[in-house]
Amino acid sequence: MSVIESANRASDVASETDLSTLWRPIRFGPVESRNRVMFSAHATWHEPERYAAYLGARAKGGAGAIFTGAMCVHPSSHNGWINAWEPETAAHYRGWVDAVHEHGSILVPQLHHMGLQGMPAQTFAMMSNVVSPSGGMSSPMWGHFGHELRKPEIAEMVDYFARSAEIAREGGMDGVEIHAAHGYLLFSFLSPLTNQRTDEYGGSVENRSRIVVETIRAVRARVGDDYMVGLKYGFDEKVGPLGITPEDAQACLRFIASETNIDYVSLSGSGYHALQQLVPTAESELSGHMAEYGPLVREVVGDIPIMATCGVRTIDQAAEIVASGKVDVVGMVRPQLADPELVNKAKSGRKVEIRPCVGANQGCWRRMGRGGQITCTVNPESGREAEWKDVFNTAAEPGRVLVIGGGPAGLKAAESAARRGHQVLLVERENELGGQLRAAGALPGRAQWLRLISSLTDSIDRLGVKVRLGVDATPDTAREFGADMTVVATGSHYAVDGFSIYRPDRRSIPGLESIRVLDPATVIADPTLAGARTLIVDDHGAHLAMGLAELLAVQGRHVELITAHGQIGHDTGLKGSVDFPTMYPRLIAAGVRCTAEATVERIEGSTVELAHTYGAWARTLTDIDSIILSQTRRPDDALYDILVEAGLAVELIGDAYAPRDVDEAIYEGALSAIDVHSNRTLEFRVVNAAAC
């Protein structure tokens, strides 16, 4: 049985889960949600019109309750997005509400102040004055220090929360959610770690909870008792005894609930000290973990609904959590980025058609961490709902599309062309589909990539795409099929010539020819080729080299991983894919030696000399059996030129255009073959992609 078949078998077993508990309506005070699946709050940085289409797609897809990204309530927390305290924001709300109510969902803005996690001033519009309960406290994310709020300033913050809630009601929102989690301002008052005040806002449970109580009361005074008011609550800071522990969180919540009138508690935890708990990746075993605190919350809030946002990746797991009674509602963000129709598909018995979230955190979290608008690695339509609304309509003149290459770009291109009504033939020279995703899925903790292959192959099968494996495509292949358009998605390969952009003083590593040189894909396919002692050289800082190092080390090999960067896996940290906090301890436990700021100076047989990037040290390795180079990637694009010279209409996409991430491959596959009757060349495809 292949690894993909194993993944499918596991999915088939899970498909027997009873989902009926998810479809029961539930009331949050005066408002009813049609089911128990919510689309939880998260930042997108989308413009208001784009955001309306984005939210509307999840409502159309069946989500019961939808929560906006956190809306800043005060000028000192301005993050460059839409401000909840400004009266004109009510107009934006009305557009969002219309898009969501049209399809039967409820919409709630999340009101928050970023506090210590206020973002640096990236633009002139983002002048955040960082504030905190106590002086001398800094952000674990940005490192800057906050101004200690005085009592009049606290009163001003409370008033701005209330003002923002009033604007939400004027804008037609179904309620408001007060954010007291994730290290933001209200939570930082609750936490003994960041609140070291000695006045009535610090010290005891009652004092640390005071600002939350005052905020909820002020909001109620503005919106009334007939309006939904909920609390987003961080139950465990995940930093140890100096922070909010479950016991302390329960005590604070008991006081808050006794002093206010809230309609639900949305349970979460951790923050920027332990971000991997909040946005667990495919590497992590964490999923559904925050729901475990549900019974402790129930003890202090009684019968009001309890929600949980906790990295739930499948509808089956959501149903199991709700059926257990730990919480009443489960949030699913990334799975509904991957497939907005998740709820509808599950409810109508089409779970097999749900596009899976792979937990890569690339299109969503990493883009946001870099200041970009979020989308989804596996679903490029996410965030582009407005401008792509007609992209997959049936073509006025359906034609024939030949797709060459069965990796992520080719699979997506075949699916998209078939969705437009074209006849599609997919040709792959290997005997399996998936391309580099197969190698990625063979690394520890990355089997989710195999689910994506399975999802895409199942989809093209349902759409009637014909597939030929083990075939080398030629111009005759296109002519025999009668292709109106040929899409070249032939991928890329890792070069093993030793060139590194971080050693511009040379074209290769001196002595490289004297040792066994391997590329990552070859080693993943056959780890025995690496020998007993191997050196991995990584220029990219992504998951691949770290995953490969772990794969070899757990098999008993001696592995050293080096990079010219200041940290191994530099693209997997808190502003990247968030794999690092999970993976790095595993590498150390497996015995991998990790060396940053290092390059290979020269090689002589089994002896390898390393040099510090800035000349601080040199070190010699002996008895090395192989060197694995994760450095230069080159496109396999020769066939494109051959097809163009043959006079055929051709597009070049994915890594064959330029080696990048799977995100770009799937994006370009989705956009390919829009007009199969035009003799489009590379330039047209680039213009088209940029426009979308």
What is the CA 89 to chain-centroid distance, rounded? 28
417-422 long-range contacts, Cβ below 8 Å, gap at least 24?
A: 417/487, 417/672, 417/673, 417/676, 418/460, 418/463, 418/464, 418/465, 419/392, 419/463, 420/392, 420/393, 420/394, 420/395, 420/673, 420/674, 421/394, 421/395, 422/395, 422/398, 422/484, 422/673, 422/676
Backbone torsions φ then ψ of 532, nearest 5 degrees: -80, -30
Residue type, 227: Y
Nearest to 166 by CA among 214, 218, 204, 211: 218
Q: Which of 93, 184, 201, 657 is catalytic?
A: 184
Length in residues, the chain: 692
Is the separation of the CB atoms in 331 and 310 below 8 Å? yes
Nearest to 669 by CA among 522, 465, 365, 525: 465
Quick one: CA torsion of 122, 128, 134, 139, rounded to 10 degrees?
-20
d(CA 423, CA 417): 8
User: Tokens 């097809």 sit at which residue?
Assistant: 643
State the DSSP string of 508-540: S-TTGGGSEEE-HHHHHH-GGGG-SEEEEEESS
Catalytic, 502? Answer no
Q: Which helix (H) or strand (E) holds 112?
A: strand 106-112
Longest dimension (CA), the chain: 82
Cβ neighbours of 494 (radius 10 Å): 19
Cite the active site residues.
Answer: 184
